[in-house]
């Protein structure tokens, strides 16, 4: 039978949170020094640039279909807030933070398996 978080003592919850946070911090520091992570980050940003270019082309073609002749720069500036907000990590992602979050979740899962 699974144990819910409400069934654990406050000290146990704090201990789990401290362990997972320490693992997250250590993984973030480690991944910031890893050249492979930076290569993956660059590839993510290149992918974001390609997706942004495609989005600009779509917005520009919508303008053209409506009979509005708009410069490409206007389409770019209309797309820029969407890319900057990055909903659902659709355009780019911060790879070191992804790894740190995975380490945090791994510690929590390991502690839950030991119950």
**26-59 exposure pattern, b = at least 16 Cβ within 10 A, e = fewer:** ebbeebeeeeebeebbeebeeebeeebeebbeeb
Could you identify the residue written with the tokens 């979050």? Answer: 101
**pLDDT of 68-98, one tens digit each?**
988 989 999 999 999 999 988 899 899 999 9
Give residue 54's Cα distance to chain centre: 21
- The pLDDT mean for the chain works out to 92
pLDDT tens track for 12-57? 889 999 999 999 999 999 999 999 999 999 999 999 999 999 999 9
What integer pLDDT is reported at residue 4 of this predicted model? Answer: 72
Report the Cα–Cα distance between both ends of the chain, in Å, rounded: 10
């Amino acid at each position: 039978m699974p144990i819910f978080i409400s069934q654990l003592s406050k000290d146990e919850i704090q201990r789990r949170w401290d362990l997972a946070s320490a693992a997250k911090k250590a993984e973030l520091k480690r991944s910031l020094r890893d050249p492979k992570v930076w290569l993956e980050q660059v590839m993510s940003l290149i992918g974001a640039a390609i997706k942004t270019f495609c989005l600009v082309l779509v917005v520009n073609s919508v303008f053209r279909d409506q009979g509005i002749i708009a410069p490409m720069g206007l389409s770019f500036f209309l797309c820029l807030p969407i890319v900057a907000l990055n909903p659902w990590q659709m355009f780019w992602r911060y790879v070191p933070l992804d790894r740190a979050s995975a380490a945090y979740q791994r510690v929590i899962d390991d502690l839950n398996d030991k119950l």
